[in-house]
Structure 1
Amino acid sequence: MGAQRRTTAPPTGVRAYSSRPLDAPKPTPERKKVTVNTIHRLHQKRTPITVVTAYDYPTGMIVDRGQCDICLVGDSFAMVALGYESTASLTMDEMLHHCRATARGCKKAFKVADLPMGTYQLSPEQALASSFRVIKEGHMEAVKMEGGAEIAESVRRITQAGIPVMGHIGLTPQHEHALGGFRVQGKTAKKAEKVLTDALALQAAGCFSLVIECVPGPVAAKITSLLNIPTIGIGAGPDTSGQVLVIQDMLGVFDRFMPKFCKIYGQFGTAMSQAIHQYVTEVQDRTFPDPQQHTYPMASEEELEEWLRVIEHYKEK
């Protein structure tokens, strides 16, 4: 007869099929939903605002569980998730697909999404139509737009329609070719003044906050002090109203050049590669799956014996 085999059903919560959907994220009970008003209150209290990017259901959940104030579906996922050379290749349909996935995982943080290049530059009407799509189809709560005074009219049109807009000045990746590449902006007095005038124009147009990217610390600090809305820095020093990082960069997912401003908080790329290598090794040496821990039994010992009788006439290879 052999050793007695386990006959009970798998415990509740064990996934009997590897593609079964995960349970819905459980919001932290004590944490209230972050809104645009929450962001304003944090700014008034001089509490630093935290922003991290997310691009799908699991990263949306992770950002939420990490207690971030703002979850940004940035067009940077074109490079870090889709493998494009730049953000310019990203389409609106791709953005909406990732927005919806992120929104399903992120329930508490304020959700903001980039308008992809080419979806808002033609006219204020185009910008408004694109923004409506991001809110209605992408389930986001605000949009982010790159540019300065030249997009102020579009920002005004969108905010008048009731959609919050986060601006983005300094280094604007969608304009990398016009800027001559990914370069620090505002390093001279004249260029720094241009960043300031862009910030003031976007504030006047109705932006609820501004991302300031790759600008010297003293310039970002002064701009922050002159504005009535919060600034979110990335490569702009410690004196902005908050900070933003790309999740793959901060978690060390990629073994590649990192900008000076990025701090790596983990080595997840190495850890994931090591885990997969261990899996490959265990499959090859047949230590995984374990017959007791990872294998389902027959309904009973009698059913196993019946099965063996049923297949007696089959020949093994």
Structure 2
Amino acid sequence: MSTTFQLDTATSRANPTPAPMKRLTVPAIRQRKKDGVTKEPIVMLTAYTARQAQLLDAHCDLLLVGDSLGQVIYGLPSSVPVTLDMMAAHGAAVVRGSYHAVVIVDMPFGSYEASPEQAFTNAARLLKETGCAAVKLEGGEAMAETVAFLTRRGIPVMGHVGLTPQAVNQLGGYNARGRTRAEAAKIVGDARALAEAGAFAIVIEGVVEPIAVEITAAVPCPTIGIGASAQCDGQVLVTEDMLGMFERVPRFVKVYENIAETIAEAAATYAREVRDRSFPGVEQTYQPK
């Protein structure tokens, strides 16, 4: 999806015409890190809908259709119940709503772990049905063979190490990882294995900061931090978290706006005007000519 195009605005409010622009590519993102240094940090946010993608696209290098949509959109207790159908539907919407950022779609739990062949079948489906540029999967050294299998067959892969939410049942929660020497060494080894297998970038989530710094210096591909370190080659947050849509957010989230309060106030004003019959007014109704 690296072509320039114009969207038809005649029939849908969902399709404002973008300024012509060539979409960023996976190789362009990979090449942002040269000789171990990324001069311009990589900006990444999650997106789950076409309209959200439109609003974020111009400001981001990467848009991640994360399986966090399970909690954010569907109210699920974790990302574990998320299905391939969900990821395909939301991934397609985000691609339709963007024209600049590289769109990456998470592979949900159970869609890639059994074998490299299973991973290829499901990753190929996501690329075909969404038009995304790459997939992301969780796991370290155990998934290196799968990452290599996919990349050799033309499917770019972003890795994910540290706190891996799909493994919440095994980890016993969402606590920061790498507090013991053995666990820290394993996370670093996982990242090295993914990089050697061909991952074009690696998300480092919820680890003590020295691990993130060490990984960023150790691997040739860009690292994307979330609860990691400003020294990573880029950063990602769940958009709804940083916009203040939820009362509780992880420690590593900086809340940039309180959109939940804005929505609640607007809904309250609307409800009041409906009840006192001041809405709709003349401006919102059709009068005889």
Confirm or deny that 1:49 pairs with 2:42: yes
Identical aligned residues as a percent: 43
> Which residue does 2:127 correspond to in 1?
135
Deviation at 1:171, TM superposition (A): 0.3
Deviation at 1:23, TM superposition (A): 4.8
Q: Distance in 2 between matches of 1:149 and 1:234?
A: 20
Residue by residue, what CA displacement relative to the aligned partner does 1:52-86 show, whole Å, maximum 9, x if unpaired? 00001111111113x20000000000001111111
Determine which of 24, 31, 35 is the counterpart of 2:15.
24
Deviation at 1:21, TM superposition (A): 2.8
Confirm or deny that 1:264 pairs with 2:239: no
> Which residue does 1:93 correspond to in 2?
85
Confirm or deny that 1:59 pairs with 2:49: no
> Which residue does 1:249 correspond to in 2?
241
Q: Distance in 1 between matches of 2:218 and 2:24?
A: 25
Deviation at 1:37, TM superposition (A): 2.2
- Contact 1:92–1:116 (CA under 8 A) maintained in structure 2: yes
**Aligned residues: CA RMSD:** 1.4
Q: TM-score, normalised by structure 1?
A: 0.85
Q: Distance in 2 between matches of 1:97 and 1:165?
A: 20
> Which residue does 2:75 correspond to in 1?
83
Deviation at 1:219, TM superposition (A): 1.1
> Which residue does 2:287 correspond to in 1?
297
Task: Return structure 1 stretches of 4+ with deviation > 3 angstroms.
Answer: none
Confirm or deny that 1:287 pairs with 2:278: yes
Q: In structure 2, the residue corresponding to 1:103 is in which secondary structure?
A: helix
Q: Distance in 1 between matches of 2:27 and 2:85?
A: 29
Q: In structure 2, the residue corresponding to 1:89 is in which secondary structure?
A: coil
Q: Distance in 2 between matches of 1:294 and 1:116?
A: 44
> Which residue does 1:276 correspond to in 2?
267
Structure of greater Rg: 1
- The letter of the residue matching 1:107 is Y
- Contact 1:168–1:212 (CA under 8 A) maintained in structure 2: yes
Q: In structure 1, the residue corresponding to 2:203 is in which secondary structure?
A: strand
- Structure 1: segments with no counterpart, 5+ residues: 1-14, 301-317
Q: In structure 2, the residue corresponding to 1:181 is in which secondary structure?
A: coil
- Contact 2:160–2:203 (CA under 8 A) maintained in structure 1: yes
- Structural mapping, 1:98-113, within 5 Å: 98-113=90-105
Deviation at 1:42, TM superposition (A): 2.4
> Which residue does 2:6 correspond to in 1?
none
- The letter of the residue matching 1:249 is D
> Which residue does 1:191 correspond to in 2?
183
- Contact 2:33–2:220 (CA under 8 A) maintained in structure 1: no
- The letter of the residue matching 1:248 is E
Q: Distance in 1 between matches of 2:155 and 2:182?
A: 33
Residue by residue, what CA displacement relative to the aligned partner does 1:220-255 show, whole Å, maximum 9, x if unpaired? 001100110000000001110000000100000122
- Contact 1:25–1:105 (CA under 8 A) maintained in structure 2: no
- Contact 1:27–1:108 (CA under 8 A) maintained in structure 2: no
> Which residue does 1:205 correspond to in 2?
197
> Which residue does 1:38 correspond to in 2?
28
- Count of residue pairs the alignment pairs up: 277
With over 3 angstroms needed to count, the CA separation of the structure-2 counterparts of 1:120 and 1:23, relative to structure 1, is: closer
- Structural mapping, 1:156-167, within 5 Å: 156-167=148-159
Q: In structure 2, the residue corresponding to 1:94 is in which secondary structure?
A: helix
Q: Distance in 2 between matches of 1:63 and 1:140?
A: 16
- Contact 1:234–1:261 (CA under 8 A) maintained in structure 2: yes
> Which residue does 1:116 correspond to in 2?
108
